[in-house]
Amino acid sequence: MRVVITGAFGFLGRRLADALLRTRSFGGTPIEQLVLADRIVRPGSPAATDPVVDVVHGDLADRLDDVFARPVDVLFHLAGAVSAECEADLDLGLRANVDTTRALLDAARAQTADGGPRARVVFSSSLAVYGSHPALPLPPAISESTLPLPQSSYGIQKLICEHLIADYTRRGFLDGRVARLMTVAVRPGRPNAAASGFLSGIIREPLAGRPATCPVDPGLRVALASPRRTVQAILRLAEAERGAGPGQLDGPLPVNLPALTISVAEMLATLRQVAGDAVADLVTVTPDPAVEAVVGSWPAVFDNARAGALGLEPDPDFLSVVRDHLAEQTDAS
């Protein structure tokens, strides 16, 4: 079996690659080759030196011939521009998220047309496909039957890709699975350009002894998932068989990954509980209307029933999320 991860050296891509390399199988079938494709390849990565791994370095749109040099059985498409980047530069978002995704889907389609396997394509979408509008307010809890109404370019681009995947799947070109990710926190490493990046920063930076800024009203509620739960959910969605039975993927609908609903104030209170006043006081609340407009448009409460039918559950509380982050940092050191 040949498995591909795009955005493989990013935050989730590295964790997904590590998870696959631990078992060296997908759905019980041995992985003969794991292709790690990314625009930026981080030197010294243990995964990159594994004999089963092939690294494809460069802009994905320019390297699809290498990605599909041999038939692809499973493809995890995690690459793309993030929310604040897309809001600041529409053309960048369209190229990175829409044009590149369509080119990738067409490569999978061509593989099928040439007699190759029908690739199982897992796409990382986002809760940003949802949004509230005065003419159509959001229900108290969001489910997959809620009409997506994005309020950002990033959300719109993700929704466009969702529809393309649904149509290519309907036509039999590929087997598409769409995972709508919650905001993933706590993200280690350096801050990125995602509008939601502060939700990791207000925990990660103080724990490292650095100041952090909270750009939203602490009363804002958000939907979060830990890195560990997110990777587990992506793999479960990828491996699920089609069907209407228990634990099967029933139909073409995207799956909203499980969400832990929490306010920013509760996150900061947990930081204070874990690390004390001196650490928690490193966070300063300085509202940023641009960030509040994007993150505040996202829903916070989700009906997790569809994910639950696949055996997926949200993080039990934010304390467990912070402890996961601390344990990971200890292991890394």
* Residues 130-158 pLDDT 10s: 998 888 999 999 999 999 999 999 999 99
- Residue 154 among the catalytic residues: yes
**With 0-12 CB in 10 A as exposed, 13-18 as middle and 19+ as buried, what is 40?**
exposed
Nearest to 168 by CA among 232, 234, 102, 215: 102
Identify the pLDDT of residue 43. Answer: 66
181-215 confidence digits (pLDDT tens): 999 999 988 777 678 999 999 999 999 999 999 99
At 133 the pLDDT is 85
What pLDDT digit, counting tens, does each position of 232-256 carry?
999 999 999 999 888 899 887 899 9
Q: What are the tokens at 76?
A: 């995890």
Catalytic residue among 26, 123, 130, 154: 154
Report, as ranges of residue numbers, the positions in the chain whose pLDDT lies below 50. Answer: none
CATH code matching the domain that covers 80-332, chosen among 3.40.50.1970, 3.60.130.10, 3.40.50.300, 3.40.50.720: 3.40.50.720
Q: What is the pLDDT of residue 42?
A: 73
> Phi and psi (nearest 5°) for 213?
-115, 135
Q: What is the pLDDT of residue 44?
A: 63
Question: Measured between alpha carbons, how far is residue 93 from residues 195, 244, 315 in Å?
Answer: 14, 36, 30
pLDDT of residue 328: 87
C-beta contacts of 266-275 below 8 A and 24+ residues apart: 266/318, 267/199, 267/202, 267/203, 267/318, 268/202, 268/214, 268/218, 270/318, 270/319, 270/322, 271/202, 271/203, 271/206, 271/207, 271/322, 273/319, 274/319, 274/322, 274/323, 274/326, 275/206, 275/207
pLDDT at residue 329 in the model: 83
Contacts from 60-66 at CB under 8 Å and sequence distance 24+? Answer: 60/6, 60/100, 60/104, 61/95, 61/99, 61/100, 61/103, 63/37, 64/103, 64/104, 64/107, 66/37
